[in-house]
Amino acid sequence: MLPAEGRPGRPPWWPLTEQTTREHALWDELWSRPQAVMWEQLGQVLEVAMFVRTLGEAEQPDAKGETRKLARQYMESLGLTVQGMLRNRWKIVNATDDADEDDDEVLDPPVRRSARDRMKVVPFRGPGA
């Protein structure tokens, strides 16, 4: 469960070479998001910095398709898209929400039955039965 109010406090120190003005703005904004709570716990400072740098490059009018694709992949892996939130099994909740209600649903993925398990056994009825 991620707090809707986001991650409190200042962002971590920028780990890459000199930061552009755009990268600084993105860095500050991203580290105030709810997902940043998990990035901090998982030690993903470098991954977030690489995303910020890649996104800055992908925003340029002459950016290559590969750079834009990489930025989208970073967004998903960092839980910044709906699909990424689902894949990471993260849910944003307000402090006033009853978090205990949905804990099992978020923490335990649904049990997937195989095709064989879903088959129904039908008794054989021979000719003339």
Query: How many separate domains does the chain show?
Result: 1
Q: Is 122 a member of any domain?
A: no
C-alpha dihedral, 27 to 32 to 37 to 39, nearest 10°: -10
Q: Among 109, 58, 64, which residue's Cα sits nearest to residue 86? A: 109
Q: Is 13 a member of any domain?
A: no
**Nearby residues of 86 by Cβ (< 8 Å), 6 or more positions away:** none
Q: Is 52 a member of any domain?
A: yes
Q: What is the pLDDT of residues 41-82, one digit of tens each?
A: 999 999 999 999 999 999 999 999 999 999 999 999 999 999
Q: Is 38 a member of any domain?
A: yes
Mean confidence (pLDDT) of the chain = 87
- Structural domain for 77, as ranges: 21-111
Check: CB of residue 75 under 8 Å from CB of residue 67.
no
Q: Please state whether the predicted TM-score (pTM) of the whole model is above 0.85.
A: no
pLDDT (mean) for 7-34: 96
Tokens 């950016």, located at residue: 63
